[in-house]
Structure 1
Amino acid sequence: MGQENAESPYEVRSSGELGRYLAAARDLSPDDLVLTERPLVFGPKAMPDPEASVPCVGCYKPVYTDVGERCPKCGWPVCSGYCPGLKDPRHHGVECHILSARPDCVLNDMANYYRHDALLPLRCALLQTVDPDKWKKLLEMQSHMECRIPGTEAYDEANEFIVEYLMNHFIAKLDNDTKKKYLPEISAALIHRMCGIIATNALEIRLPEGAELLALYTNTCIMEHSCIPNTKHTFTQTAKNKDELYKITVKVAIPIEKGYHISTMYSHALWGTQARRQHLKDTKYFACRCQRCSDPTELGTFLSAMKCLGDGYACDGIHLPEDPLDDETEWACNKCRIKIDNSQVNMLISQMGEEVDNVQMMGGSPIMLENLLCRLSTYLHPNHYHLYSIKHSLVQLYGRQPGYTTQEILDKKIKMCRDLINITKKLDPGNARLSLYNAVLQHELHSALVMKSQKANIDGTQVKDENLKSLLVEAKAALNVALSALKDDLEETSGKKLYEVILKSKMEFERLCQKKNVTC
């Protein structure tokens, strides 16, 4: 057992099952600082549509492929030949010597010719000469190479798209002096190990202009996973001191008792248990057994629950997994005890997920979303994560789209918001992972309550003073919760924009209260 220092809020411990992990050195409260550290190394991910734009290798600003400039030495796309990151060793400064082994430029098939996902493994390997201390720390990180063997999807993908790409196009073309200077130790096996370290430990950073980075951190990577994380992390994206760029700050989200494990989350909080556990097995090589995964009801949210699927006769019961930690578990109805195979449930949920994704990608209109919600509600518990996704989209359309501002629609929106807020609070009480979801729901609840306060009742009468105040008091509380939920998200573009929208709503609300002469 080790401790960072006498004042540190955490201790580094180890166990046979978990390896190294962090534990609270004392009782910790929300917003207490756990740790802050600079990245060992970072690099860009490929853009969603690399044929349209790619990240500049010096500053990661998206560059349009058909007009973008090229690095004068290696030919990779850049925002400008004067980009300061081109000479910075933390960015493009050193890798450029390796990438220059293939100086040709192309405009076609950009995604395969300029593989930005290969840059971080290369930067990792370059640490051996760029910063030997960081290289030593990097090699201490878990790579799970025992699971990433030839024939596995992880190994074969890394081999085809990263290892062979780097070895054949660049490293094999280096002269001995360059190789000795920058990569004294290099092989396909070493690059595979770098890929394993990245897959196991890297954190994603979303940049303001749309690009994404992956970064590795020495101490943060020791934190274990939990589907109920007790910390939240943020990244410094604007810094006067360039060495502070992408520094991570980890704060307590919910109280942590002394000796209790400090955790983060490596999956999506709004996925059901089977989806989360499968993702963790595929990417992190462990089977989560946390409190949420162990509970068939997922902390009473019923986020994965199905309605009774009895053959020929379905009662009004709920189908839940008998043992959610067993991949082959049967699902039993809590009333009629009819059981169904896990494979049947997986097939249904997968098909429904595709339908939800398709409608969302098409920009789902209210009628499309309502039809899908009605159809899937035949099979799914009202709180199921597929229905959560649909409802979260609907509440942002109700009260805003023409034809969807009636009293009846507003009442429906208010109920949906309250229901989704209740689920969100149970899954993420400290706003560690769902702060933006929570803020949107609280803001939409506020909006609907304010609209309702200004509408006449269905019978044509005006809202009574006591009812008016009740609506506005709840609306004000929702606004304050929304702003509070976003307090740690202001470095990210999406969080900052949402915060500004809600602040504007707050000013409009205060003017409304003055006009109505209501004190909330």
Structure 2
Amino acid sequence: MDHKKPEIPTCEVCQQPANQICGGCKLVYYCSRPHQKLGWREGHKFKCCAFKIHYSDTFGRHMIATRDIKQGEMILKEKPAVIGPRMTCTPHCLACGKKLEPAKLEGGFDFYKCSLCNWPMCGPQCEKADVHKPECKIMSDRKYRCAIKYEQSDKAEAAYCVITPLRVLLTKNSNPLQFENLMSLESHLEDKKDTPLYLVLRANLVTFIVQVLGMEFDEETILKAASILDTNAFDVRSTDGTKRSRAIYVTASMMNHSCKPNTRHIFLDDDYKIAVIATVPISKGDIITATYTQTLWGTLDRRRHLRNIKHFECECDRCKDPTELGTYLGNIYCSICNGPGSDNITPKPMMVSSNPLDENALWRCEKCEHFIQSRQMFWGNNALMQDLNKLNKTGHKDYEDFIRRYSNTLHPLNHLVVQAKLALIQIYGNYKGYSLTEISDALLKRKVDLCHELLELADKLEPGWTRFRGTLLLDLQAAMTMQTKREYESGKITKAAAQDQLMESMVLLQEATNILKVEPDMRTALEVKIQELSSQLDAEENGISDA
């Protein structure tokens, strides 16, 4: 995303004029030695020397490694420049982002409301939060009171579309440098101005800012603030899933997109700092990339999402490859080559796009002359996705039936099949009635096989220390440990063989720990798992203990 450094250098800590540049990265300035030390402690140490912002005609502004970066290294840690509710959402607290549930109040059920502006909040503590004070003051000064009231807990409210753009605009007075940084990000407003959404925003958001609040901004600036949020904001969620917001991180937004990225990001602490982590070793001079879409979507869906939401055409190596790096994630079998009497054809011929960078290109069989229109692929994907979404999510039968039913149409690693397999991995060993001690040997083996299969997919599409790989390894080691216990107790393997298998499980667990230990919600669970498996290994003299 585009961003311009102010012409006059300012201190990273206090935003006052500065003439002392960081000797490491040569990217930030300080007004004094004490502020340089303070800036280092507050986060500059996590980004100094690891990257620089570079410009090229091909990529625009992007992030390049200024030194070799190790796998698992934290490249950047940054506070949000602005954070707030999504454009449309169910009632959420404006301070902490928590989804609200009504309380029994005088007159019936309703949300707690801010005493000044009447927006739904968690309670008095959130009402007084710093993030809410500026917007609350300008609304209450203008005698505006929010009209949201409890009707049903899952009703989405369009009124939230005004809050986060308002927070961007309010920084013009409270933090002019921050406002300049935000407003210099790429907006793609010209591409959105005449869309139905922005016609609604012109009527609602612009009217609210100018007429209701009396703020002196023109329509172009207001809509640009909204468009910058659409283009650059990260979807921020708490680890327990109860809080959800969108936020802009000015530096992190400089990362280029790739459908096979070399980083992942997590959110830390109550102020939702973003931490960008290298998933693979990154060499000096390499472009540092993130993904702005879902890596487990097929190319048609990924590129359409990026075009509609981020307004650019992805032309990465994966998007240009009709087989998606040999995974066939978005492909189907040829109905002609795989018709009656084709059971012995190996491998089964696939339908692939004749030009993956053109969503209207024909899809042709790799072997015969059969072809179909791209719109047929879109229709088929949507129909099967609807089938998948209708499945009973509490048990395994519907997912196994889905995989079996479409086995002659969908490649085993088609993205729809992968979603069903991921659901099965979660069910087997984790759901009520499907714990590792309850499921049959056959289902336990099924879980192990599915984990191995999707780990191979991860190696191709999300290589390195990704959360996808880490969680798969956790599931795999747990299932393998239970397998070992059962095989030893039934006499199928010797104590020595069991010990070897438990050591293999420990290796998997240690790799999962290396990947996931930075995740705030995983630390305690990982420590417990390591202790449990270590105890089992120590129990060699007495046999295999309970899993």
Question: How many residues of Structure 1 are paired with residues of Structure 2 in the alignment?
Answer: 481
Residues 24-173 of structure 1 aligned to structure 2 (within 5 Å): 24-45=65-86, 50=90, 54-65=91-102, 66-83=109-126, 86=128, 88=130, 91-100=131-140, 101-103=143-145, 105-108=147-150, 115-150=159-194, 152=195, 156-160=196-200, 162-169=201-208, 171-173=210-212
| Matched residue SS, 1:205 | strand
1:291 aligns with 2:317: yes
Q: Does 1:214 align with 2:246?
A: yes
Output aligned runs, 1:376-391, within 5 Å: 376-391=406-421
Output aligned runs, 1:120-269, within 5 Å. 120-150=164-194, 152=195, 156-160=196-200, 162-169=201-208, 171-174=210-213, 179=214, 183-184=215-216, 186-208=217-239, 210-238=242-270, 245-269=271-295
Residue identity in the other structure for 2:373:
D
Please give the alpha-carbon distance, in whole angstroms, between the structure 2 residues aligned to 1:499 and 1:418. Answer: 24
1:55 alignment partner, SS class: coil
Q: In the alignment, is the contact (CA less than 8 A) between 1:4 and 1:12 conserved in 2?
A: no
**RMSD (CA atoms):** 2.9
CA separation of 1:106 and 1:216: change in aligned 2, threshold 3 A: closer
**In the superposition, relative to structure 1, how do residues 32 and 453 fare at CA in structure 2: closer, same or farther (>3 Å)?**
closer
The one-letter code of the counterpart of 2:453 is D
The question of 1:508 aligning with 2:532 is answered: yes
TM-superposed deviation, 1:140: 0.8
Moved more, 397-406 or 271-280: 397-406
User: What amino acid is aligned across from residue 144 of structure 2 in structure 1?
Assistant: R
Counterpart-to-counterpart distance in 2, 1:265 and 1:253? 12
350, 356, 370: which one aligns with 1:318 = 350
Tell me which amino acid in the other structure corresponds to 1:143: S
Cα deviation per residue 1:355-394 (whole Å; 9 max; x = unaligned)? Answer: 11221xx424111111111012221111111111111111
463 and 33 in structure 1: CA distance in 2 versus 1, 3 angstrom threshold: closer
Flag the 1:253–1:142 CA change in 2: closer, same or farther, 3 A.
same
2:504 aligns with 474
TM-score norm. by structure 1 comes to 0.84
Structure 2 gap segments, 5+ residues each: 6-24, 29-47, 103-108
Tell whether the 8 Å contact from 1:143 to 1:197 is kept in structure 2 after alignment.
yes
| Alpha-carbon shift at residue 341 of structure 1 (Å) | 2.2
Shift of residue 486 of structure 1? 0.8
- In 1, the alpha carbon distance for the partners of 2:434 and 2:516 equals 29
Distance 1:112 1:356 in 2: 24
Aligned mate of 1:442, from 452, 473, 476: 473
Give 1:453 shift. 1.7
Residue 269 of structure 1: how far off its partner (Å): 1.2
What is the CA distance between 1:480 and its match in structure 2? 1.6
What amino acid maps onto 1:61 in structure 2? K
How far apart in 1 are the matches of 2:268 and 2:448? 36
Distance 1:302 1:470, change over 3 A: farther
Q: Which region of structure 1 is more displaced relative to structure 2, 400-409 or 420-429?
A: 400-409
In the TM superposition, residue 33 of structure 1 has moved relative to its aligned partner by 4.2
Q: 1:378 to 1:259 in 2, by over 3 A?
A: same
| Shift of residue 516, structure 1, vs aligned partner | 3.5
Q: Report the CA distance shift for 1:447/1:37 in structure 2 as closer, same or farther (over 3 A).
A: closer
* 402 and 216 in structure 1: CA distance in 2 versus 1, 3 angstrom threshold: closer
Q: Is the 8 Å Cα contact of residues 162 and 208 (structure 2) preserved in structure 1?
A: no
In the TM superposition, residue 466 of structure 1 has moved relative to its aligned partner by 4.8
What's the CA shift string for 1:420-474, capped at 9, x where partnerless? Answer: 1111122111334xx0x3233222222222222222599x653234542343232
Report the 3-state secondary structure (helix = DSSP H, G, I; strand = E; otherwise coil) of the residue aligned with 1:269: coil
The answer (yes or no) to whether the contact 1:4–1:10 under 8 Å persists in 2 is no
Secondary structure of the 2:167 match is helix
Q: C-alpha displacement at 1:70, in angstroms? A: 1.2
Is the Cα–Cα contact under 8 Å of residues 31 and 252 in structure 1 kept in the other structure?
yes
Distance 2:252 2:310 in 1: 15
The equivalent of 2:456 in structure 1 is 422
Task: State percent identity of aligned pairs.
Answer: 27
Amino acid in the other structure paired with 1:191: I
Query: Counterparts of 2:491 and 2:129 in 1: how far apart (Å)?
Result: 70
Secondary structure of 2:427 counterpart: coil
Matches within 5 A, 1:488-503: 488-490=518-520, 496=521, 498-503=522-527
CA contact (8 A) 2:69 2:283 kept: yes
Q: What CA distance in whole angstroms lies between the structure 2 residues aligned with 1:104 and 1:326?
A: 46
Partners of 1:447 and 1:216 in 2: CA distance = 38
Instruction: Report how far residue 351 of structure 1 moved.
Output: 1.0
Does the C-alpha gap of structure 1 residues 392 and 64 become closer, same or farther in structure 2, counting only changes over 3 Å?
same
Instruction: For residue 75 of structure 1, give the secondary structure of its aligned residue in structure 2.
Output: coil
Amino acid paired to 1:514: D
Matches of 1:112 and 1:327, distance apart in 2? 32
Structure 1 residues without counterparts, runs of 5 or longer: 239-244, 491-495
Q: In the alignment, is the contact (CA less than 8 A) between 2:237 and 2:245 conserved in 1?
A: yes
Distance 1:482 1:208, change over 3 A: closer
CA, structure 1 residues 511+430, in 2 after alignment: closer, same or farther (shift >3 Å)? same
Structure 1 residue 476 displacement after superposition? 1.7
Is contact 1:27–1:255 with CA below 8 Å preserved after alignment? yes
Aligned residue for 1:396, secondary structure, equals helix
Displacement after TM superposition at 1:413 (Å): 2.1
Deviations 1:314-373 (A, max 9, x none): 6632222232112122223233343222222221111111111221xx424111111111
Q: 1:264 Cα deviation (Å)?
A: 1.1
Contact conserved, 1:76 with 1:114, CA < 8 A, in 2? no
Contact 2:470–2:511 (Cα < 8 Å) also in 1: yes
For residue 389 of structure 1, what is the amino acid of its counterpart? Q
- For 2:471 and 2:465, the matched residues in 1 are separated by 13
Deviation per CA, 1:70-125: give whole Å up to 9, x if none.
11111111222343x6352xx11111133333226452568576722321011111
Name the CA shift for 1:502/1:74 in 2 (closer, same or farther; >3 Å).
same
Matching residue's letter, 1:5: L
Kept in 2: contact 1:322–1:329 (CA 8 A)? yes
User: Does the aligned pair in 1 maintain the 2:399–2:420 contact within 8 Å?
Assistant: yes
User: Any conservation in 2 of the 1:233–1:250 contact (CA below 8 Å)?
Assistant: yes
- Change in Cα spacing, 1:516 to 1:333, as seen in structure 2 (3 Å) is farther
| Stretch deviating more after TM superposition (316-325 or 462-471) | 462-471
